[in-house]
Structure formats: C-alpha cells, structure tokens
Amino acid sequence: MKYLSLIIFVSILSCTMGVKKNGGEKTYLYDVYSDYSLVDLQELAPQIVTSSIRDPQKGKMLDLFSKKQKPLKRVGMIVFESSIQETRSGLSGADKIYLSEQGKQLITERLLSVWEQSFSVLGKDIEYIPTKKIKKSKFLKNYGLEVTDYVKSKRFAIAPDDIFFLPPGKNTAMTTVLNPRGMRDLSLALVPASDLMQGPKFSEHMKHAVNEVANEFQLDVVLVIMSKINWTAAHIDKHSGNILPEQVNINLQVSALIPFSQYHERLKQLGDSRDLPVTTVSYRTYDSTLSLPVLLTVPDEDIDFKFIENELLNPTLKTYKDLTQMNIFRLVSDLKETHL
C-alpha cells in the first residue's frame, strides 16, 4: 500500500511539473445582483479564470501552436459532466437543499445550454460544432457507455420534485457525476472522464475516441468540461478556521484537447517524425470558482418551490452563466493567438 501511494504521488507530481499558470490571482467578490455587461466579463475573466499550460512529451507549445502551424478554429465538446450537491453518504445533512437524480440531470442540461448559447455569441472567428451533431457520431458509440437517463418524459423545466429542502438524516440521491441525455459517458471505473482527461498534461484516457471524433467532424480542438455546484450551510472551514456563511460555490474546469493525429502533424512540421507519442495533448486548461451568499436558513412555512427558484436556483444559474462566459472569453482569446 505504501508503494502504491508513492506511485500515485509521483504520478501527480509529474503531471504538475513544468506547468505555467496565469490569471486568477485576485480574490473577487462577485455581486449576483449586478448586471455585468460582456465588456465587464471580458475584463474580469483574467482575474477570475486561471489558465494553465504545459509542454507535452515532445515539442514546445510555442512551436507546436505558432502561426506557422495549422490554426485552431473549429471546436467541439466531447465531455460535459456535472457534480451537483454531492451526498456520498446518501443522507441529508446541515446543507438543507438537495436534488433528485432527475433534478441533477435537468440542471446539467441547463448548464450545457448556457455553454452552447454563450459560444454562439462570444466565439467570433471560432466555429463551434453543437453537441447535437457530436452525439450522432458514428465513432463515439464505440467508446464509453450510454448515459443513464433519469428523466423519463420529454421535459426540460425544473419542478418541485427535482429540488427541495430536506431535514438532516433523510435519504438523498447519491448520484454525483451526471451527463446530459444522449451524450456518452467516457468515465473509467467510476472515475469521471474529466478527472482522467483534464489538466495541463498529455492524456492516455480515451485518446482514440478524441482522435476519431475530431477527425470525423474535422475538429481542431475538443473540449472537456466539468461543472461543480454545491450549496453549503454556515460552517467553520476546517483548513483556515474561518467562519463561512451560507453560500453556493460554483467551480468550472475546462480543458481544450488536441488529438494525437494533429499532434503528429505539428511535430512533423517541426521536422520530428520519429517515435511520435500517441497521446492527447492539452492546449490549455482553465479553472475558476465563484462563491456567493444565499439564504438557506428560513422558517419552514416560508419554504416552497418559488422560494428555492428565486433565492437559490436563479442566482446560481445567473452566476454560472457569467462564469461560463468568462471562461469562453479566455479560451477564444487563446485560440485566436494561433491565427490572428
């Protein structure tokens, strides 16, 4: 067991060595009631979103993605996962607000629609291929598993049975990582695909799926996205000892991946054609978190679906939209560096 822990530690250390990060240095107090313009979000993006880059096994990123190489202009999404209000024990606690599997899946689909709508507005000079096309891939069906569909009817609106308050000790939905209906689950042994494929490192996981889907749709970049949302009651942080208020925490992790066939083409452009690594390359990784106060402790008679929708759900989705757009601003800016 001691040797296994050492191997895992060395593996993690090797994945972080040589990583260059920029942005996200400032702590920003987000105001959910402010109507941020696109200009505001573009200015805030470097403060909130951290971008990471690391040279792969062969070649330097600056050479592999210089303007002398093929530009990165066509983008699609192969993984979109969410972890919403995790309850690993299967029992409710002090955090009060919980969701059914149906609720988590419906919110996941709402989050995906935010990404797709935002990309169509902000992705100037970048061609975004919608997931409804990628879902029909003739190659993707050879990889991963079909996503469990918890929503048995053709509905998309969130209802009172999907998100609700629970007293401590009640059974909750244990499902944590979900995908939208119709997508493929590219996880491995209960480990989310985003954990296996994301990060500023080369990746072996699902490298053939990334490569075949990218070739099928002529994608320059494949996106892997994990959205994490959790509402928490007031508590003392065990690390800092600070008293944390009732709040919702939203974390976005985004990786822009380059398939190994394109990696090989770029290496050959640099005059390297021997012993080419068959791995997926991460062009950039983005990580961002926003927290905002919410009202969780209220009298039982004041709790209903309208309260949950107005005080918890709507502010969360509004903040998620802004955070998504900040991530897209950074991603699009980095992609444009390869051709503008």
pLDDT, tens only, 247-272: 999 999 999 999 999 999 999 999 99
Of 13, 58, 57, 45, residue with least CA distance to 254: 45
pLDDT, tens only, 194-207: 999 999 999 999 99
Q: Name the pLDDT band for 10 (thresholds 50, 70, 90).
A: very low
Of 182, 109, 113, 111, residue with least CA distance to 145: 182
- Residue 50 is part of which domain span? 22-336
pLDDT, tens only, 271-302: 999 999 999 999 999 999 999 998 888 888 88
Quick check: is 13 in a domain?
no
Tokens 């119709």 belong to: 182
pLDDT at 124: 87
Kindly report the number of other CB atoms within 10 A of residue 243's CB atom.
Answer: 9
pLDDT, tens only, 137-148: 999 999 999 999
pLDDT at 29: 73
Of 105, 165, 194, residue with least CA distance to 306: 165
* Residue 12 clears pLDDT 60, i.e. is over it: no
Quick check: is 5 in a domain?
no
Structural domain count of the chain: 1
Quick check: is 17 in a domain?
no
Quick check: is 9 in a domain?
no
Quick check: is 208 in a domain?
yes
* Residue 327 clears pLDDT 90, i.e. is over it: yes
Quick check: is 172 in a domain?
yes
pLDDT at 70: 96
